[in-house]
Structure 1
Amino acid sequence: MNNINLQQLAEYIYEFCGIDYLKNLPSLESKIANRLKELGLSLWEYCGYVKVEEKERDILIELITVNETYFFREENLLNELQTVIFPKFKERIKERPLRIWCAACSSGEEPYTLGMLINETSLFSQGSVEIIASDINKKVLRKAEKALYYKKSLSFRKMPEGMTEKYFEEEGEYYRVKDEVRKIVKFKHLNMFNKNVGSEIGKVDIILSRNVLIYFDIEAIKKVVKTFNDILNIPGYLFLGHAETITSINPGFETIYTPSIFYYKKGENQV
């Protein structure tokens, strides 16, 4: 493929959603090669085509994003949420619910896990918790909204004993998340790089954005983290992937360290 055109496509992807393939053009090339063959287009033609065809842009996003996830991922983080963070908000009433944003929620395992944890705590009354789950990939969002998962899939590889029977209904070879969990979660198609994220999501108390920033360069990270800071209430908590850190960019968060994980709190002196 023409490296100049590949560079142009990588630049377009970066400007659109912040995902950085500029330093990894061979990976981008491998992800789109079959699509170019399907369309019968050269890379030069495709660069123009994807900019004017919204449906093709959606397909491109499906090709370049990674959506591997599973229920009850990262036990230590979930335990911190359940035993330390959620109890801080137990006095919330229906008029001002606890609001949690799962950024880049993929096929829904993470927000549904949070819904199960919320139920397990018995801290909150019906209607006092909202989980907003967003992703840029429309295909995985459609799967998430269906809440239907193949029984033998890797989605269940860390499922605690008894939780499948408690929170899922059998439908042939699939399990479907029960309504008591589904009604807590609202899915939204969203580009985290969009300037309107704040108005789309609204103020929240907790953000989970795990293993997302690893695909961004430092400037894109700064932009996204500023958005996180802007929409978090005080106190507000940000959880990233275990390999991600934002301490060096001085984003206005206090780092909370525990024996097993670290996460971030929006500083009390902010407004």
Structure 2
Amino acid sequence: MDNIVLQQLAEYIYEFCCIDYLKNLPSLESKISSRLKELNLSLWEYCGYVKSDNKEKDILIELVTVNETYFFREENLLKELQNTIYPKFKDRTSYNPLRIWCAACSSGEEPYTLAMMVKESNLFSEGSVEIIASDINKKVLSKAQGALYNKKSLSFRKMPEGMIEKYFDELDEEYKVKEDIRKLVKFKHLNMFDKNMKAEIGKVDIILCRNVLIYFDLESIKKVASSFYDIINPQGYLFLGHAETITSINPGFETIYTPSNFYYKKGEI
């Protein structure tokens, strides 16, 4: 009985956000077991409860999403952005800003890193860059918007020397991202499979969606790749995780290979 109900819960999660636990029910069970005990509900009772309560649905999403991230993650990819991609957009102005979408931004380390790199590049004038950061998980999104990180957090494990002093204000037990970095980033609560996603994000020049597609099945990856293609401007760029590929899925993207990375460029329409 529990396996049947667990399968139903996995199907509900898949229908809502395409995170695929259908072939890994034990993992789903382990992620929700503490919540069932906390609520003193059976799996069958919980399955009905979560479908009728939006707040509980948010909690379920918190439980089943993975939010591993840190500042300046994947140094080689960031160097490619800094040295090759950003300079291509150096002539943008506040009337036609460089627009970057950090999809699945988790607790904010990645979009704030991108903003710090904008400052470090000295390529852009005031208002000529916009970073949109979105996530389906409201809890981590709230943390990202707060821009507060514990001094002992693993978020700082790859932080280059001198960057904390330059881009953070020191509080008692935490560092807070400075205002000039925070104002470059706009956060949105967003499900990448929402029908209104394109309207919410608008056209962008660069998308980073790293280590997210590994949780989707092929059909869902095709949907996401199609949405990305529609949202990215011609000659724009898409960065995925090193274990993710859409090479055989969307021929509209050209794969660019470097000695330490590969990423995608959208061709002219």
Q: TM-score, normalised by structure 1?
A: 0.98
Q: Note the alpha carbon deviations across 1:140-178, whole angstroms, 9 max, x for none.
A: 011001101011110000000111110001001110000
| Aligned counterparts of 1:230 and 1:48: Cα–Cα separation in 2 | 36
The one-letter code of the counterpart of 1:89 is F
Residue identity over aligned pairs, in percent, reads 79
Cα 1:195–1:251 change in 2 (3 A) is: farther
Kept after mapping to 2: 8 A contact 1:209/1:240? yes
Pairing 1:228–2:231 present? no
The runs of at least 4 consecutive aligned structure 1 residues that moved more than 3 Å come to: none
Q: Structure 2 stretches of 5 or more lacking a match?
A: none
1:50 partner SS: helix
1:249 partner SS: coil
The one-letter code of the counterpart of 2:120 is E
| Aligned counterparts of 1:57 and 1:91: Cα–Cα separation in 2 | 44
Kept after mapping to 1: 8 A contact 2:100/2:207? yes
| Aligned counterparts of 2:53 and 2:197: Cα–Cα separation in 1 | 23
1:95 partner SS: coil
Alignment partner, residue 162 of structure 2: 162
5 Å matches for 1:158-197? 158-197=158-197
Alignment partner, residue 130 of structure 2: 130
| Post-superposition offset of 1:68 | 1.1
Alignment partner, residue 42 of structure 2: 42
The one-letter code of the counterpart of 1:174 is E
Alignment partner, residue 14 of structure 1: 14
| Post-superposition offset of 1:251 | 4.3
2:248 partner SS: helix
The one-letter code of the counterpart of 1:12 is Y
**What is the RMSD computed on CA atoms of the aligned residues?**
0.8
The one-letter code of the counterpart of 1:67 is N
| Aligned counterparts of 1:135 and 1:214: Cα–Cα separation in 2 | 16
Pairing 1:69–2:69 present? yes
Alignment partner, residue 144 of structure 1: 144
Alignment partner, residue 115 of structure 2: 115
Alignment partner, residue 209 of structure 2: 209
| Aligned counterparts of 1:112 and 1:259: Cα–Cα separation in 2 | 26
Q: Structure 1 stretches of 5 or more lacking a match?
A: none
How many matched pairs? 269
Alignment partner, residue 267 of structure 1: 267
Kept after mapping to 2: 8 A contact 1:14/1:21? yes
Q: TM-score, normalised by structure 2?
A: 0.98
